[in-house]
A and B are shown apart, each in its own frame.
Chain A
Amino acid sequence: MSGPLNQTPLHDWHVAHRGRMVDFAGWSMPVQYTSIVEEHQATRRGVGLFDISHMGRLRFRGPGAAAFLDRMVTRRVTDLRPGKIRYGLMTNEKGGILDDVLVYHLTDVQGRSFHQMVVNAGNREKIVAWIRSHVTAADDVEFEDESLDTAMIAVQGPAALATMAALAGADLSRLGYYSGLVTTVCGHPCVASRTGYTGEDGCELIVARAVGLQVWEAILSQGESRGAQAVGLGARDTLRLEAAMPLYGHELSETIEPLQAGLAFAVNLEGREFIGSAAIRAAKASPSGQVRIGLKMAGKRVPRQHCRVFAGEQAVGEVTSGTFSPTLDVPIAMAYVDAAASGLGTELLVDIRGRKEPACVVQLPFYVRPAPGGNS
């Protein structure tokens, strides 16, 4: 990235609270404030607050919005009811993944319907250009990149929705998973959704940039008694990895097609065409061989992206993400390996800086949150 880094409206707050700022996809973002493990556990046990204002927020209006998006995304958009959200992918003609996205269908306070898409920070400019190059006057859709005019905050953890109860203009706990609505937070207009990237219950909020800091501080203060803590990108990564959620640039790229990534659930090929659908259909008919798996290490050395994976002497794949799992207390990784080496329980070796360390193929995700009302 060249030029000065983008700053979210919370940037000065992060710096003032000892956030260790790093360049992430052209944004100055906090990797951690205290310790990654502490912030991770705060999210698993109480409430974690994440500044995710760096992510791209795109709005689509007009009678043709749903039909246009339906052509751009691997999930059907035309039958997405107001108040619903779908996780999907944008693919190129070859079926390679351009980005993984959330598509929202919402109703504004005037009762008008609109669609919104949340995309990865590092792909925002690429996706905006991709959309602009495909939208025509005949599509009858108005498209706007609202990323720099808004802030986005994720509130995640078992106490997240209880924390929001006093601040939100609607009862978010009555919102279904992957549902959203236009409401208020601290009296300010807001898009709230029951979504997240941690494996915990919670919500994500989009507000005007000018009120981002006020909303952030209000949630932190409201959640104090429930252990609310600001969480940086370091723990965001360990949390999503335990939940086996893919990260663009790691599990997803333009050379990986969706079925290989284990994202069949995010692709709907039934009776519809979108950019890349023909290629994905062909790939489905003759699978390429490599699949995404989870690995649990026997030792303590941590596999990282690009570590090679072996079955005995034979190279069978490569690690895409690895970390030390604070919940399981062992190193874990996701990797792409040949289908023959992907069976649960298969003993593999990961080459960590020249030494092959034993690992076992395990079920994904690594972490599933306890059922609400459960004893655990």
Chain B
Amino acid sequence: MGKPEELLYSETHEWVCVEQVDGAKVATVGITAFAIEQLTDLVYMELPEVGSQVTTGGEFGEVESVKAVSPLYSPVDGEVVAVNSELPDRLETLGQDPYGAGWLVRVRLSDEQSLAKLMNFAAYQKQCADEAH
């Protein structure tokens, strides 16, 4: 996927990589290495079906650790066009390659306005540093 420096980030620790595909804008969404480090002991993940609609800030799935369950929040608006369906059975991939093989969904954007609210790498790094203590 992209290099972390080139991605966009939500406050809820999802990353976004926007690409032009067949004249439409498609966002690949994942969760950041920082978030995975914080969660630890992942045991379960649920992702949406292809064709479902997601909205910015809305829940599109959940990830569960031994300790607690965390909702996955969509950083964008649009239709899910692909799902990393192998990921829930190989949760260790999230820790090994969060910005590549650990992607969650691809969303064809219906509205690009939400992209403007996402952070760049530097801003997201600052947020993580603030949260870390």
Footprint of B on A, CB under 8 Å?
A: 31-32, 35-37, 234, 238, 300-302, 304, 323-324, 326, 331, 353
Contact = CB atoms under 8 A, between A and B. Distances in A.
A324 B44 CA distance: 10
A37 B67 CA distance: 10
Contacts of A300: 43-44, 64
Nearest to A38: B41
A324 B69 contact: no
A300 B44 CA distance: 6
B66 interface: yes
B40 interface: yes
A301 B41 contact: no
Given A35-B40, A36-B40, A37-B41, A304 B66 contact: no
B66 A36 contact: yes
B79 to A, nearest CB: 23
Contacts of B64: 300-302, 324
28 contacts: A32-B40, A35-B40, A36-B40, A36-B41, A36-B65, A36-B66, A36-B67, A37-B66, A234-B66, A234-B67, A238-B66, A300-B43, A300-B44, A301-B44, A301-B46, A301-B64, A302-B43, A302-B44, A302-B64, A302-B69, A304-B68, A323-B66, A324-B41, A324-B43, A324-B65, A326-B66, A331-B43, A353-B69
Contacts of B65: 36, 324
**Chain A contact surface mostly:** loop
Contacts of B43: 300, 302, 324, 331
Contacts of B66: 36-37, 234, 238, 302, 323-324, 326
Contacts of B41: 35-37, 324
Nearest to A237: B67
Given A36-B40, A323-B67, 10 more contacts: A35-B41, A36-B66, A36-B67, A37-B41, A37-B66, A302-B43, A302-B66, A302-B69, A324-B41, A324-B65
Contacts of B40: 32, 35-36
A191 B68 CA distance: 36
Nearest to A325: B66
A361 B114 CA distance: 47
A287 B126 CA distance: 58
B67 to A, nearest CB: 6
A304 B44 contact: no
A179 B43 CA distance: 38
A121 to B, nearest CB: 19
Contacts of A32: 40
A-B pairs, top 8 by smallest CB distance, nearest first, are: A300-B44, A324-B43, A324-B66, A36-B66, A36-B41, A35-B40, A37-B41, A35-B41
Interface in B36-89: 40-41, 43-44, 46, 62, 64-69
A287 to B, nearest CB: 34
A35 B67 CA distance: 10
Interface in B17-47: 40-41, 43-44, 46
A331 B66 CA distance: 9
Taking each of B44, B67, B69, which has the highest tally of chain A beta carbons within 10 Å of its own beta carbon? B67
Contacts of B44: 300-302, 324
